[in-house]
Amino acid sequence: MLGEGRGGLNDRKAIMSLSPDESSFDSSQFRGVHWSRLGDNFTFDRLVLQGLSAEDTHATAKAEAGRMFEAFERTLGANTARLPVNPATATTDWWDTYTGVIDAGIERGFRIVLSYWGEDDTHGGGGRIPDLSTWNQMWDVVTSHYLSEPQVYFSLMNEPAYAVQEWVDMAAQWLVDRPSVPRNRVFIDGVHSEFAGPANDLRPLCEDERLDGTYLGMHLYGFHLPYRAQKEWISGLKTHLGDAGPRAVVEEFGARADTGIDFNDPAATDREASYLRAVTDTLRELNMGSIWCHVIGGRTTSPDHDELNILRLHSSTANFPLWMPNVSAVDRLKHAWVSSRAQPPC
């Protein structure tokens, strides 16, 4: 049963004793991008990120990933990558190859956020766990492998589709089951809201002391919604953050980069221009960390890219260097990553 676990939900002392004070949090340290499988990460198969090959070994994956992380850093100024994980990746021989990707990021100085994607996205199934014991086995492998590596973080589940209390209980149980995992290396996604959809509302997580000491991940998109004025986006974002404060990271956001929109134009009337300007201005104002989804890979909207990609692989066999389909989208991302306390707004 989902509400039952290996440690018991009442063991709050185990959680609280390892919970750092809120002052130890600084979400602005996460200047991130998603690197994903082309076709998105909802799959029962092993995760082969775009730009890699199913034939890769640990060594070849590490070499290719090193070039990719270098490009993320040099082109965007990123220092964080959110990577997917699932049982077929972590509990099979593919794990040896996949750790080459993670290790390359660590060596580059990146923070690596490993996030579980539900395997089946049919009718929203990606927001539920097909087999809880397999999920726990996966997390035991992943956390034990990288427990001593402070640059690696663990995001329990991408966009959970459970009822609020059920999800909060599951997250609390994960923490109890793994008392050796530092709480400030754990990300817990928010719950669904009518304002913006999956993982958007952090308020129920803020209110449960069993989750104290963890980072909270908000997801926020505008491409699937009607036009909203910037002030509406700003108000909604701040409302759904609740009292998360420096624990909050906008773990997923992004806009379509292949429509020719000038996101830097304050007079632009496109719905995504309003959205992206509002989100990036607010992230800058609040000095919040954020992760663009997806920078490479993701939903297949063409044979070789996701329309949200702000970097693209060349069609040549070399793949590098990456190129930008919309420089103004990159400008807005960089704008979000600079605190308004450090520099005046551009």
Q: What is the pLDDT of residues 5-62, one digit of tens each?
A: 444 333 333 333 334 445 579 999 999 999 999 989 999 999 999 999 999 999 999 9
Cis preceding linkage at 179, omega within 30: no
pLDDT at 321: 67
pLDDT in tens, 232-252: 999 999 999 999 999 999 999
What is the predicted pLDDT for the residue at 259?
Answer: 87
pLDDT higher than threshold 90 for residue 195: yes
- Dihedral angle of Cα 315, 316, 319, 320, to the nearest 10 degrees: -120
Is the predicted pLDDT of residue 141 greater than 90, yes or no?
yes
Span 321-330, pLDDT tens digits: 688 999 999 9
Letter string b/e over residues 103-133, b meaning 16 or more CB atoms within 10 A of that residue's CB? bbbbebebbbbbbbbbbebeeeebbebeeee
Q: What is the mean pLDDT of the chain?
A: 89
What pLDDT does 11 receive?
36
- Residues 58-115: tens digit of each pLDDT: 999 999 999 999 999 999 999 999 999 999 999 999 999 999 999 999 999 999 999 9
